[in-house]
Chains A and B, each alone.
Chain A
Amino acid sequence: MELDPILLSRMQFAFVVTFHAIFPVFTIGLASYVALLQGLFVATGNSVWDRLGLFWTKIFAVVFGMGVVSGIVMAFQFGTNWSNFSQFASNFIGPMLSYEVITAFFLEAGFLGVLLFGRHRVSPSVHFFAALMVAIGTFISAFWILATNSWMQTPQGYEIREGVVHVTSWMEAIFSPSFPYRFAHMALAAFLTGGFVVCGVSAWFLLRRRGVEAHKRALSMTMWLLLILAPLQAFVGDEHGLNTLEHQPMKIAAMEGNWETQSNVPLLLFALPDRELQANRVEIGIPNGASLILRHDVDGVVPGLKEIPVEQQQPVWIVFYSFRVMVALGLLMIACAVTGLVLRRGGKLYTQRWFLHVLQVMSISPFLAVTAGWFVTEIGRSPWLVYGVLSYADAVTPSLTGWMVLATLIGYVAVYAVIFCAGVYYLFKVVRQGLGELEDDEEVHDVDRPSRPMSATHVPFDGTTASSRS
């Protein structure tokens, strides 16, 4: 079999970015949550907020560290595997990626250090301020990355001279049409991720009757937040979809599994899209549903995949099912938040064991939903790397051969598997140590640095006692 460097490069990029994205999505949400806890501590003076803040800051530190390590590869892949794309778009993406790096440095050099190690060295308000700045900093980082991605989805503010992009308006290029929607959608996704992980961990502690008072507060507060955020995400997601319909209609066609441009399109719940057949082999749907959602009218016309040649059509089934996985998880999240409200009314939020078990499982759901969502938007864009402008085939590094990409793909999978297992294993150790034992672990060591965020936690990697640290 001939190894296809384009397909393998896409797989490699997808693997690295999926693996990496888990961490920043989590840290963005967690940073805001930590800032909220420290803010509550300043406002109320109740030390339980501070203890919760400390606990979640330790977890934040480990996840942040993992994100930094796994992100290094990203910066090189644009050149190793997509050199023609880098060549074509560097006038725009170069400065964007560099500004992201600069933002991260600025964070590390300043506020992260105060957040991780300054708890007893600065006043609570200054500490809160540092937490707030770290939270804002994570959003600024996301801003640059999402601006880059959005430009690749809906490019504008540029012209092509001698085969290379030249930016004509930075404002237009950065704030491209899909950017505001993508940013809002991702910000809420980050909050939901943080929220569901906090709920899951709090539930774990409540089930084991450890640190009950503090974790009750954390659970209560977060369930309120989810009650607002989960439905809001559904609304924002819908708006994002309408924006996609306007700018990338073929992505919508794949998401809906719709082949003919027509009115009265059903909302498919299940289907077997078949590219050979240029139709769905089986489909079960709600009549007129898609037309109603996308055009707010049962007679609304929804674009179909047959508008483009077969070779330009995406692998429809991945887009179709990823979209359904994302939406289903989103609906589950809403159901979970509403169930929480019902139980709270009955006074059983903290004691209903099955619900606490559900919350534990649900803490994985945002990660799956985010991954599925990125699959939709990235695979839905194919065969374009820059939508309508540059195809994968034109973007890939010309000198690459299939075996080179395969070898490094296997290599990256092996490296990341080791790192991921060690990191997640350690994360669970930090979580399990819990709130109470943290007080012994609060001292700051001379060698602890914000540029090594994991040095903020002293939980041993193996063995069981905190004193085994050396």
Chain B
Amino acid sequence: MEMYDLSLIWAVILAFSVIMYVLMDGFDLGLGILFPFAPDEDARDVMMNSVAPIWDGNETWLVLGGAGLIAAFPLVYTILLPALYLGVFLMLAGLIFRGVAFEFRFKSKRTRRWWNAAFSGGSFVAAFAQGCVVGAYIQGFETADRVYTGGAFDWLTPFSILTGIGLVVGYTLLGATWLVLKSEGHVREWARGLIPKLLIGVLVVFVIVSLWTPWIDSGVFDRWFNHLQVIWLLPFAALLCAVGIYMATRRHREGLAFLLTLGLFIFTYLGLLVSRWPYVIPPDYTLWDAASAPESQFFILIGVLFVVPIILTYTAWSYWVFRGKVRVGEGYH
């Protein structure tokens, strides 16, 4: 066991779970946020049907990440959750409403508009809360002796509200490029028209957050301006993706536009990771400080290494089966 750094393995697994969750639940949360603005009820049917077979599987990664966190890095679990107490409640309430609305909207007629509202409201709240978590994480947490000592609203600052808005706009962009890929006719045209506006929104937030971040903490500043200048490639790559999304959308390269949006998220995420690496509870605790006992990390690693390939295969299969366009009147009808 000592031959391998189990904490490092776990950090990779969990970082992978988080980005899988962001990418996959991101576009269906984005669709939820777009929901009230859809041109008509047919468009809403198409939007929901385009994610119906896969959306719940997407949330698998959130649950796996949460469970993995308490098993492998309990300190992260026991500081993040108390620090984000109210935000976590909002996110869970949002996800629950959204999940139930998803099931019952298809089965309802008279009450449909209530389920529509629950679906979009839940999606918005969940996305915003997740974005605030990102901001709170960059800011760091007030701790003493491995316990959170800050207040109930430390996570809600101008900076974290900005990252919250950023993630809402980002998820919406992801949802729009997904919808262009999965739909046709007036639904696709509507979604395509949204992309440039959303792209500008994302870029504005991206630039402000990027400029703001190094000033929050001297360690982050040092990393970006004094050491490791190779990491400037990451925001550069993210900006290239943004340009690419615009070009690809103009040239009707739908698949490419969606993939580049994923790329935009991945490079931004990597930029965030290198800013704080190896601190998992900034500014005090590294991933090795936060680790559980090696025998516990090992015990659960066996199960995870067994189940992750199954989840990946199953996910890939689901996406493969439901490839192609969703037409108005198809799916649940």
A-side residues, CB < 8 A to B, are 65, 69-70, 72-73, 75-76, 78-80, 83-84, 86-87, 90-95, 97-102, 105-106, 109-110, 164, 166-167, 170, 397-401, 404, 407-408, 411-412, 415, 418-419, 422-423, 426, 445-449, 451-452, 454-455, 458-463, 468-470
Contacts and interface: CB of A to CB of B under 8 A. Distances in A.
A98 B71 contact: yes
A106 B307 contact: yes
Interface string B55-91: 1110010011011101110110111111101101100
Interface stretch (B19-27, B96-104, B196-204, B241-249): B96-104
A469 B106 contact: yes
A397 B152 CA distance: 12
11 contacts: A76-B92, A90-B292, A91-B293, A91-B295, A398-B149, A399-B147, A446-B322, A449-B53, A455-B52, A458-B107, A462-B111
Contacts of B292: 90-91, 94
A451 B56 contact: yes
A69 B107 contact: no
A128 B85 CA distance: 44
Contacts of A458: 107
Given A94-B74, A462-B108, A399 B148 contact: yes
B contacts with A: majority SS:
helix
Given A87-B75, A447-B53, A461-B111, A97 B100 contact: no
B332 A97 contact: no
A69 B67 contact: no
B8 interface: no
Contact of A399 (B70, B104, B149): B149
B210 interface: no
A408 B91 CA distance: 12
Given A398-B149, A399-B148, A170 B299 contact: yes
B300 interface: yes
A90 B306 CA distance: 21
A455 B48 CA distance: 13
Contacts of A404: 85-86, 152
Contacts of B304: 98, 102
B68 A86 contact: no
Nearest to A85: B78
Contacts of A70: 96
Nearest to A78: B70
Contact of B303 (A73, A84, A99, A397): A99
Contacts of A86: 70, 74, 77-78
Interface string B302-333: 01101100110010001001100000000111
A363 B31 CA distance: 41
B296 interface: yes
B149 A461 contact: no
Given A167-B296, A469-B107, A75 B77 contact: no
B278 interface: no
A252 to B, nearest CB: 32
A412 B85 CA distance: 13
A97 B147 CA distance: 22
A78 to B, nearest CB: 7
Given A411-B89, A419-B96, A449-B56, A79 B78 contact: yes
Given A69-B96, A454-B103, 11 more contacts: A106-B310, A166-B293, A399-B82, A426-B104, A426-B107, A448-B53, A449-B57, A452-B52, A460-B108, A460-B109, A468-B109
